[in-house]
Structure 1
Amino acid sequence: MLKRLINLFLLLPMACIDPYEVTVPDGQQLLTVEGLIHTGPGPHAITLTRSDTYGSVFEGLIRPVTGATVVVRDDEGRITFLAEGQDSRGSYFTPVGFQAEIGKSYTLQIQTADERVYTSLPERVESVPEIEDIGVKTVTIPVEGEIIPRSGVQLISEINDPADQNNFYFWRLSPVVHVLEARPDLFTDREFRTSAPKDCCSVCYRTESTGNQSLFIAQDDNFNGLNTRIPAAFIEDNGLRFVNTLRVDLKQYAISQEAFRFLRLVKQQAEISGSIFDPPPATIRGNMISLDNPDEVVLGYFMAAGESTRRIYISKADLTFQQNAGIIPDDCRTVSGASVNPPFDWNP
């Protein structure tokens, strides 16, 4: 039997198998525009990136778009040129003194280094009510398989909504500044694995950009003309930010109805749970178009808005639940963004 099998294999044709070459088409390079100009002090930033996309699942490299000419034009024909940041490739900044004006409309115009031209639809700047007060609420978020939940502080904006107009709101956070407590007396020399306490420093002031943990937006359909309190931000407790005192500026914007619709779609897509009942992800078109090719997909949105800002200091005593305090066994100045000197306007 074995002999017959050997003879059978010898009768089979022997040939090399040529590799099958698969040509994968380059992904479509999509320009993404992200920017907001407002009535507050500048500079204001417009960020341009371009990405290669492959199918609907994987998104490849995201590259900054450098060397572009970026201008903002108002409805009276006044033009403001934005300069690319030296340390922020692909980000373009208005002059320091530039501020948008309520009632005016603004258009963003872009010419890339390869001479492609893009423009936004006009965005009108609406007036925004002041933030009357900021409430603080501790929020805990259960984590599957964990005993200790995630937690943080929710900021609640109190406003008197104007009755004479339909308002659409959007909130963002400034970088936070918080007291950072460390234990330089616990420092260990890693090379010799011996205790090597440092003389300084145990207390610093750290500035960091936490960003908002979600998109916080609202429209006044249910509270038009009323005094109301709206969740506007969330800052997560990472075991370091709330061991003492934290400061943050809450920025409230009055945006256009079109910008609100765009952000609402982005928020809905970002909060898809991942179940089989979720709708498939879709490309969300903003207000940017290509003047060379109207069919080109341009992502992102250029917004112009009225801004209102209010500062709040949050003490650890304001929290009803805290994460276990993180231990930094080193000089606190070794932490990125930390300094022993408080900001000049630090006034809890």
Structure 2
Amino acid sequence: MLRKLFYIFLMTLPLSCIDPYKVDLVEGEQLLTVDGFIHTDPGPHTIKLTRTDTYGSVFEGLIRPVRQATVSVRDSQGLVTFLTEVEAGQYQTPNGFRVIPGLSYTLQIRLLDGKQYSSFPEVVHPVAPIDQISFRSVRLATENRLEDRFGVEFFAHFKDPSDQVNYYYWRMDPSVFVLVTNPELFTNPATHPTNPRGPAPKDCCDICFLVEKPRIQQFAIASDENFNGLNTVVPVAFIEDNGLRFKDTYRAEFLQMGISQGAHRFLRLIDQQLSITGSVFDQPPANIRGNIISLDNPDEKVLGYFIAASVQRSTVYVKRSDLEFRALPRIIPDDCRTVSNASITPPANWNPGD
């Protein structure tokens, strides 16, 4: 009886809706972002223009290209080179364009709404040639003792000039590797309606060449403060073994660039911010200012840094037999040509040697 009275009491209580609490957020700035560099190799070289977006916007997390801008590069001798928009927000120099060591270069931007931006002049500094790129296989422990990580660490060997202060910047061009698949393991439900996993082997193809551009560009930097004039070895990249990259042969091409002190400082701050893990030993967040300014409003923030650099290249081939540690190979039970960016034709400069 008491329980029934309790239920009746609850039913007689007034019911009401909860009004949502509206939070008024300050609208964030939509900042112009400049990404790209030019160097001494013949072009085309690419400069990307995008905009950040306001927190909570429907475009949040998307890259918003800046279209129909007028983009040019001016050197210290007065020569102006205009870039062409080849894709939305991507502007390229003419084929064959290259910078000259000793000259300075300025990036100039005029947006469709008339706003103008300019970089500070960047002097092109010479860079030492790469003697070689070496590598070693690496096995890294994880929190799960049964799931170690594997990969390959690369090192640049070079002799630093003793008669000048040098700042170095390393990047990778898109890599290429032999993609090994298993078309003989292909299955087709249409062939075996009663057995979806029934075998339907394909005659081709088990070997392709896959061009891979990392989603997040790795880079390394150094100054010769501690190795001026010495033969030096610097770690420049780590490529994780995902079970496919090192099943046969992997090619990596490295760019060693000589950059300005300002570019080195900017990249060092970027590297520090990317390495933040939430530890008490992390570097504090920094307001990273590049070398791009607004000519209409000097107080406007512009993200990015325009780099003009000398470059030296070196290519290294990594064969499966060269590696002490390897991840378990991944199986793709299909024709290798079904994988995006894969081709049975090797690149024109593919030359792994013996």
TM-score under structure 1 length normalisation: 0.90
Q: Which of residues 217, 230, 243 in structure 2 aligns to 1:239?
A: 243
Partner of 2:344: 340
Contact 1:210-1:235 within 8 A present in 2 as well: no
Q: Deviations over 1:21-55 (max 9, x none)?
A: 55444321011111110001211110111011439
Residue 213 of structure 1 deviates from its aligned partner by 6.2
Distance 1:277 1:165, change over 3 A: closer
What is the one-letter code of the residue matched to 2:125?
E
Within 2, Cα distance between the matches of 1:177 and 1:18? 57
What runs of 5+ residues in structure 1 fail to find an aligned partner?
A: none
Residue 62 of structure 1 deviates from its aligned partner by 3.0
Partner of 1:326: 330
Within 2, Cα distance between the matches of 1:222 and 1:212? 29
Within 2, Cα distance between the matches of 1:60 and 1:341? 36
Is the aligned partner of 1:81 residue 2:82?
yes
Q: Deviations over 1:80-101 (max 9, x none)?
A: 101111xx32111111110000
Partner of 2:274: 270
Moved more, 21-30 or 226-235: 21-30
Within 1, Cα distance between the matches of 2:130 and 2:226? 18
Give the percent of matched residue pairs that are identical in Structure 1 and Structure 2: 54
Contact 1:186-1:196 within 8 A present in 2 as well: yes
Q: Would you tell me which structure has more strand in proportion to its own residues?
A: 1
Is the aligned partner of 1:166 residue 2:165?
yes
SS at match of 1:263: helix
Contact 1:73-1:109 within 8 A present in 2 as well: yes
Partner of 2:183: 184
Partner of 1:317: 321
SS at match of 2:63: strand
Contact 2:254-2:315 within 8 A present in 1 as well: yes
TM-score under structure 2 length normalisation: 0.89
Contact 2:171-2:218 within 8 A present in 1 as well: no
SS at match of 2:308: strand
What is the one-letter code of the residue matched to 2:102?
G
Is the aligned partner of 1:254 residue 2:258?
yes
Partner of 1:208: 212
Is the aligned partner of 1:123 residue 2:127?
no
Residue 276 of structure 1 deviates from its aligned partner by 4.8
RMSD: 2.5
Partner of 1:300: 304
Partner of 1:132: 131
Q: How many residues align?
A: 339
Partner of 1:62: 63
Contact 2:269-2:286 within 8 A present in 1 as well: no
